[in-house]
Amino acid sequence: MDFSNLLRQANNAFREQDYKTALELYQQYAQQSSEHQQRINVNLKLAEARLNRKRKDAEQNAKSALTTKDKIIVYTVNIGGYESVKEPMVIDPTVEYILFTDNKELVSKHWKIIQLNDKLDDPRRTSRLPKILAHKYLPEHDISVYIDSSLEIKTPDVRKMISECMEGDDIALYKHYKRKCVYDEIEFVMNSTDRVVANKELCLSALKKYEDIDYPRDNGLFENAFIFRRNTDKNKKLNKRWWNEYIVGTERDQFTFMYALEVEGVRPNPIKIGKQFRINPYVNFHKHVYRSHSKPKQPHVFIAYAPKSYGMNLGRCYNEYMERLDEDEYALFIDHDAMFTNNSWRDVVVSAFSEHAGETALFISRTNRINNPYQRLNLLENNHNLLDHDVFATNLSKRYGKSVVECAKLPSSSGVIIMLSKKTWLKHKFTDGFLKVDNNIHLSHRNAGDPVYIMQGLHVYHFYRADNDLSHAVKDISSLPKDSTSKIGHVVRNFVTSDLSAESLSKYMKLLKDDEYGIFLPEQAMFCNKDWYTRVCDFLEKEHSVGLMVFNNNFMDEKAPLEFDVVKHKQYAASLLGSNSDCALAYEEELVQGGLSAFLLSKKAWKELEVQAHVDFKSLATAVSKAKQKARFVKSVYVLDKNKDHRDRAVSRYLNNQLNIAVLTYGFWPQQAGMEMMVNNLSSQLTKAGNNVVLFAPKPKKDYKELKSNYIIRRFKSTDDMKRIFREHHASMPFEALYVQGAYEPASLALELKRELDVPVVLRTHGEDIQIDKESNYGYRLDPKKNEVILRNLRQVDHNVVIGPHIYDEVRPLTDGPISLIYNGVDTEHFTPGREYLIHDKFNLPKATKILITVGRNVKKKSLHLAIDALALIREERQDVVLVHAGKEGNGLNLVEYARKKGVEDCFFQLGEISYFDMPSIYRSSDIFVFPAKTETFGNVTVEAMACGLPCVEFDYEVNRSKIVHGKTGYILDYGNIHEMKAALSRLLDDSNLMNEFSKNSRVFVEDTFSWKAVREQYLRIFRTSSESSLTDIKLSVIGSCRAYSPIERSIHEDFKIAHGKTNWFTHSTRDVIQKINVLKNSLEIPEEYVPLVINDVSRYFPEFHREDFFDDTDVFIIEISSIKSNNYNGFELQQWCLRDIENSSDDFYIEVAANAETRIMTYEDVYDDLELIYSMLSRKPIIFLSHNLLERPDGSVPKPRLIIQKALSDFSLNNENVFYFDPTEVILRYGVSSSMKDLAHYNKDFELVIGNEILKFIKDKIFIGK
């Protein structure tokens, strides 16, 4: 028998979804031998799983008679005292009776009372929440029966009633007793005298909408007082559609229900027993007594801001907002630098407007800062503390309430607040322009004899030009908004919302067009950036696919000022300018915990919002994902939200995070080299972060003046003296970490203290203690005895820190302990850009002279003489360039003699050693930083120069690739190639625009990557981890390829261990993963001839290790899925590149494989089903799934396979416990694509450490946090 043909038939049946036949054929094939069984083990499981799923779906879709197992709930709703409670006349003990109410005093004999906490403005609308959204508000159930509050249920057998009414269908209602057309129903409701609707415009909008989509006339009509529903996915979807339509329409739900039925394709069963819902054997009907429950109308609150795309035409902007309002609505415009400060403002506004609703009136407010004295309350004119303004505003509202003062006859008014009705606006439209728009509408009222009212009880805080008054104290907040080329300001509308209820948001969303965005600002909040609107528009211009933009705020940002002082928060907002974290969605935990304040949302995403009364971050993020848009956190747009009181959180965070840290160094002040200043900066920054730091350093032999510092400095005369002082401190202030610089003597001393006092030791190597250069006799480890000590110390400390990837590669083989790569920091407040002429003045150089600066001790490895070679080449072409060296002499060539030899002694100058504190002036007096070193451990001077805005031209050594972005902040050249160096220098010297661009890029890059604030946090994470009880040896099993193995192997530390590292051959697709699991669990054996086609690296294949309990000791699986391509031959998944390698093979077996291997592209469903199987095979242990990034190609597209994988992994993680999806895209964007990626698929070596640490942190946060 041809068994290969049998297998081919089975595969064909599987592809055609004939799983029953496929399963039978697979079983026949498997029965031939155990080898056949092994080859198609995966196929059998998949076919069986698909067949079972198909049968299950068929059973679910089949209509069947009711069984006694169905959980049935009969329920009603009574909100706002709308009706009396109708007790059931007879009780069926097999069902549950539930009544939803907002009346806490309500009691019932038979109904189970559930208090409805979700409330909307109108009680009638609130009552629709459980009525429409039965699946959300009811407990677990199979069938629900909704009865209107006018009905009294009298049937003793509810199950029989359901069977008779539903007749096996999933939904049933009575037809309307009189009408059969939605259009007729809308007409009736609009003209009804007893069923009054609050807003007939909404009825007209519904009419137009249904006509526009060609909703058919005479399409039937149901009455929604008596509804039978089975709790199916289809009905849940119907409920959501119904609610989404209802919440933006009138309070009547009949015609919105018919629309939802049409869109979702649902056909209810018309109930046939009885004439209608009022006359039937199941209920008694009691006529409604309708009355309005609507509250006074609330204003639409808009933020006054005219986009640049409108030519700053504020009047036009106001008019466009007003045009969108209905005739009976009114608007309140508030300046973008003003805010409400207490909770009573809305009552004041609504009551004042209601009192004068029939008048053609304009309303304005009182405030602390304004030109008009009759609106200004001077007591708080220069007070910017919002809590003081809260007290003032509350007292004002209590004293004056809704009272107003008519002021139309006064010369003018200032529009910090402008409130008017649509009716008023139709008579008094805003004039075009930016200035005097408020004055002009005031004059229009005065000339027409219409009133202008100051609301006496309304006080708003107004920043209003305080930056001018405080220019001596307020840094960077008085600058005008930056220039913007954005042309999309007209599609961004700004709203102030009272809460995050769906009703509040929908009120504004209905004003937007489909391609527009709404910015929602809480009512007691303010944007602190002067150019916030410009920033938002520019961001949207670049990121067209953004649907949700969450703005930074004082609750989420742990660095925000503690006080509610607006000036301080505006200063802080200014410090965030230039932040590159605008692309990454962050702070998810804080947002979920209530940190959401101001945000932007697209109309497109709003349409996808899940049905609920209250909107939160999760629901917004889900809606954006469904709309196929992106969510972004914008750190540099900062909001001060008075109702997000962050003070308790900040104090708690401070106390929880405070550490006692000891710092031990043998090199310190008064020396001022790189290592000495690094330890000073680190200690200072750790102290600024709220920690207690004590630095231990040797006492200098010569007289010196101690460094002024914010931390404690203790000097010791000997090691015994140091240990004595350390013990004294530790006794009163126990140290939680001991940081030590130097792997030789300092580390040995630190480890003595660790053994005695059990203080964790964190060691930072500095270069000479690790690196070896025999040519220049560089490195302690050239001495065998020192080498032995250093190796022992590296192994015994709790954590090693290295400052470059090349050092990491040297240290990694020397210890099994944790290692972190942390670059040196630079004080970006000390090293700042600017222009000085200190060098020109010192050496009597013309100010037009171009200064090339090189900095550092003149030692062999720095090759400073090569900079002189480059200078000599440049001077052949131009005479306005000199080279200046700042630094001590060492074992390098005599630079003065070398310059004389090269004929450039008159344009080479030496400054000698310069104090660290004077170096910024040296950099600011220079034009380009030149550093010709052969190697450096890190090279602080490069980042110091870049912080001062200098482009850098240097030779290529590994850490330089992390400091300099070639072609953007400087140039990295082949070592020793002075002609390339000369060309790079000339390119910058000849092009001032290029020089300026590199200068700006250098400063921004250093701020983002090397600022001490960023570096400090990395050290603090290590100190905390070292001082806390560890999660100890979480065992990881990694299944994937280079996107999984390399990052994890490079970043693994003391909390984690990789299990089964020897067996890490690569997999890419879900089929690869399933096959590998089967192989490792010894349920599938790979024939010898197949091994090179299945295993990418046969050296990783150890069949002797394979066993059934292979994964039993694994705590967490990290599984990469990066392909949807299946390459199958005889039941084995083959590697794609292995197939390519055998295309031209002469081997008979390979020829057979190449000719008959089946390649198939898997669907979303295939991938999802495989994930279920993988989860089951791994005993449902925690899994972190990884995938490719979702970076866009040059044409703006994302590869479709990646989108399929991303959706499958995301959906599967949402639907299963202990399964999580890690998308690397955000980390890549945050780090920079060019710095992260070799190409669209593979990481740079340096970035593997970064992404690996992010994955391990993700595991801790998602799986082990709090355990």
What are the residues facing 1243 on neighbouring strands?
1237
Lowest mean pLDDT among 285-289, 487-491, 816-820, 1129-1133: 487-491
Count Cβ atoms within 10 A of the Cβ of residue 876 and give its class: 0-12 exposed, 13-18 middle, 19 or more buried.
exposed
pLDDT, tens digit (0-9, with 9 covering 90-100), for 167-224:
889 999 999 988 899 998 888 888 776 566 767 788 888 888 888 888 899 999 999 9
pLDDT of residue 291: 45
pLDDT of residue 358: 84
pLDDT of residue 945: 96
pLDDT, tens digit (0-9, with 9 covering 90-100), for 251-280:
788 889 999 999 999 999 999 998 899 889
Beta strands 338-340; 452-462: pairing state: antiparallel
Rounded to an integer, the average pLDDT of 711-737 is 94
| pLDDT band, very low/low/confident/very high, at 91 (cuts 50, 70, 90) | very high
pLDDT cut 70: percent of the chain above it: 91
| pLDDT band, very low/low/confident/very high, at 1267 (cuts 50, 70, 90) | very low
Question: 291: Cβ–Cβ under 8 A, 6 or more apart, which residues?
Answer: none
Side-chain-side CA neighbours of residue 370 (13 Å): 25
Q: Would you give the distance in Å from CA 800 to the centre of its chain?
A: 30
DSSP helix/strand/coil, 462? strand
How far apart are alpha carbons 952 and 221 in whole angstroms?
A: 76
- The more confident residue out of 885 and 375 is 885
Q: Which two tokens stand for residue 510?
A: 């209905």
| pLDDT band, very low/low/confident/very high, at 65 (cuts 50, 70, 90) | very low
Altogether, the residues listed in the chain come to a count of 1267
For the domain that residue 1063 is a member of, what is the CATH number?
A: 3.40.50.1110
- DSSP assignment string, 552-600: EETTT-TTS-SS-BHHHHHHHHHHTTT-SGGGS---HHHIIIII--SEE
pLDDT, tens digit (0-9, with 9 covering 90-100), for 1143-1157:
777 788 888 888 888
Give yes or no for residue 446 having a pLDDT over 80.
Answer: yes
pLDDT, tens digit (0-9, with 9 covering 90-100), for 740-787:
999 999 999 999 999 999 999 999 987 788 878 777 777 888 899 999
Regarding whether 797 and 711 lie in a shared domain, the answer is: yes
Does a structural domain hold residue 455? yes
pLDDT of residue 566: 94
Count Cβ atoms within 10 A of the Cβ of residue 566 and give its class: 0-12 exposed, 13-18 middle, 19 or more buried.
buried
Does a structural domain hold residue 1071? yes
| pLDDT band, very low/low/confident/very high, at 700 (cuts 50, 70, 90) | very high
- Residue 843, φ and ψ in degrees, nearest 5: -105, 15
Lowest mean pLDDT among 592-601, 833-842, 1020-1029, 1088-1097: 1020-1029
pLDDT of residue 1266: 36
How far apart are alpha carbons 951 and 1176 in whole angstroms?
A: 56
Give yes or no for residue 1168 having a pLDDT over 80.
Answer: yes
- What DSSP state is assigned to residue 415? T
- What DSSP state is assigned to residue 270? E
Max mean pLDDT among 565-579, 709-723, 757-771 falls in 709-723
How far apart are alpha carbons 176 and 189 in whole angstroms?
A: 14
Does a structural domain hold residue 517? no
Give yes or no for residue 46 having a pLDDT over 80.
Answer: no
| pLDDT band, very low/low/confident/very high, at 1196 (cuts 50, 70, 90) | confident
Rounded to an integer, the average pLDDT of 45-65 is 66
Lowest mean pLDDT among 310-314, 557-561, 582-586, 882-886: 582-586
pLDDT of residue 478: 36
Does a structural domain hold residue 508? no
Q: Which of 585, 615, 650 is the last residue of a domain?
A: 650
pLDDT of residue 1029: 44
Q: Would you give the distance in Å from CA 940 to the centre of its chain?
A: 32
Regarding whether 681 and 641 lie in a shared domain, the answer is: no
pLDDT of residue 1237: 86
Which domain covers residue 597, as residue numbers? Answer: 527-650
Regarding whether 150 and 122 lie in a shared domain, the answer is: yes
Rounded to an integer, the average pLDDT of 611-623 is 77
Give yes or no for residue 944 having a pLDDT over 80.
Answer: yes
Does a structural domain hold residue 832? no
Q: Which two tokens stand for residue 1196?
A: 């703006």
pLDDT of residue 694: 96
Side-chain-side CA neighbours of residue 627 (13 Å): 26
Which residue type is seen at 4?
A: S
pLDDT, tens digit (0-9, with 9 covering 90-100), for 120-155:
877 888 899 999 999 999 999 999 999 998 899 999
SS (HEC) of 756-809? HHCCCEEEECCCCCCCCEHHHCECHHHCHHHHHHHHHHHHHCCEEEECCHHHHH
Query: Locate tokens 């046939």: which residue?
Result: 272
pLDDT, tens digit (0-9, with 9 covering 90-100), for 520-547:
999 999 999 888 888 888 888 877 888 9
Give yes or no for residue 118 having a pLDDT over 90.
Answer: no
Give yes or no for residue 581 having a pLDDT over 70.
Answer: no
Regarding whether 1193 and 1045 lie in a shared domain, the answer is: yes
Question: 672: Cβ–Cβ under 8 A, 6 or more apart, which residues?
Answer: 913, 915, 916
Q: Which of 229, 261, 285 is the last residue of a domain?
A: 285
pLDDT of residue 1247: 83
pTM over 0.95: no
Regarding whether 662 and 646 lie in a shared domain, the answer is: no
Regarding whether 304 and 345 lie in a shared domain, the answer is: yes
Regarding whether 1039 and 1181 lie in a shared domain, the answer is: yes
pLDDT of residue 38: 66
Give yes or no for residue 1265 having a pLDDT over 50.
Answer: no
Rounded to an integer, the average pLDDT of 496-504 is 82
pLDDT, tens digit (0-9, with 9 covering 90-100), for 1070-1090:
999 999 998 888 888 888 888
Give yes or no for residue 484 having a pLDDT over 50.
Answer: no
Lowest mean pLDDT among 628-637, 886-895, 995-1004, 1123-1132: 628-637
The reply to whether omega before 846 is within 30° of 0 (cis) is no
Is residue 994 within a helix (H) or strand (E), and if so which, with residue range? helix 992-1009
pLDDT of residue 82: 63
SS (HEC) of 659-696? CEEEEECCCCCCCCCHHHHHHHHHHHHHHHCCCEEEEE
Q: Are 177 and 223 in contact (CB under 8 A)?
A: yes
Give yes or no for residue 1123 having a pLDDT over 70.
Answer: yes
pLDDT of residue 1216: 82
- The more confident residue out of 1250 and 832 is 832
- Residue 884, φ and ψ in degrees, nearest 5: -125, 135
- DSSP assignment string, 827-884: -TTTS------HHHHHTT--TT-EEEEEES-B-GGG-THHHHHHHHHHHTT-SSEEEE
Does a structural domain hold residue 482? no
Regarding whether 264 and 157 lie in a shared domain, the answer is: yes
pLDDT of residue 711: 94
For the domain that residue 189 is a member of, what is the CATH number?
A: 3.90.550
Give yes or no for residue 725 having a pLDDT over 80.
Answer: yes
Does a structural domain hold residue 830? no
Rounded to an integer, the average pLDDT of 812-822 is 84
| pLDDT band, very low/low/confident/very high, at 458 (cuts 50, 70, 90) | very high
Is residue 527 within a helix (H) or strand (E), and if so which, with residue range? strand 525-527
Mean pLDDT over each residue of the chain, to the nearest integer: 85
Regarding whether 914 and 860 lie in a shared domain, the answer is: yes
How far apart are alpha carbons 587 and 638 in whole angstroms?
A: 14
Of the candidates 1047, 1129, 1143, the residue with the CA atom closest to the CA atom of residue 1094: 1129
Give yes or no for residue 1009 having a pLDDT over 50.
Answer: yes
- Other C-beta atoms within 10 Å of 1103: how many? 13
Does a structural domain hold residue 1134? yes
Regarding whether 1234 and 1117 lie in a shared domain, the answer is: yes
Regarding whether 913 and 800 lie in a shared domain, the answer is: no
Give yes or no for residue 1106 having a pLDDT over 70.
Answer: yes
- The more confident residue out of 371 and 1116 is 1116
Of the candidates 874, 872, 836, the residue with the CA atom closest to the CA atom of residue 990: 874
pLDDT, tens digit (0-9, with 9 covering 90-100), for 386-402:
999 999 999 999 999 99
Q: Which of 1010, 1040, 1056 is the last residue of a domain?
A: 1010
Give yes or no for residue 828 having a pLDDT over 80.
Answer: yes
How far apart are alpha carbons 1150 and 1089 in whole angstroms?
A: 9
Rounded to an integer, the average pLDDT of 36-52 is 74
pLDDT, tens digit (0-9, with 9 covering 90-100), for 1020-1075:
888 887 765 444 467 888 998 888 888 888 777 656 777 765 577 888 999 999 99
Regarding whether 869 and 978 lie in a shared domain, the answer is: yes
Number of structural domains in the chain: 7
| pLDDT band, very low/low/confident/very high, at 1100 (cuts 50, 70, 90) | low
Rounded to an integer, the average pLDDT of 222-237 is 94
Lowest mean pLDDT among 256-260, 582-586, 941-945, 1143-1147: 582-586
Q: How far is CA 130 from CA 109, 134, 613, in A?
A: 21, 5, 11
| pLDDT band, very low/low/confident/very high, at 28 (cuts 50, 70, 90) | confident
For the domain that residue 718 is a member of, what is the CATH number?
A: 3.40.50.2000
pLDDT of residue 580: 45
What are the residues facing 72 on neighbouring strands?
143
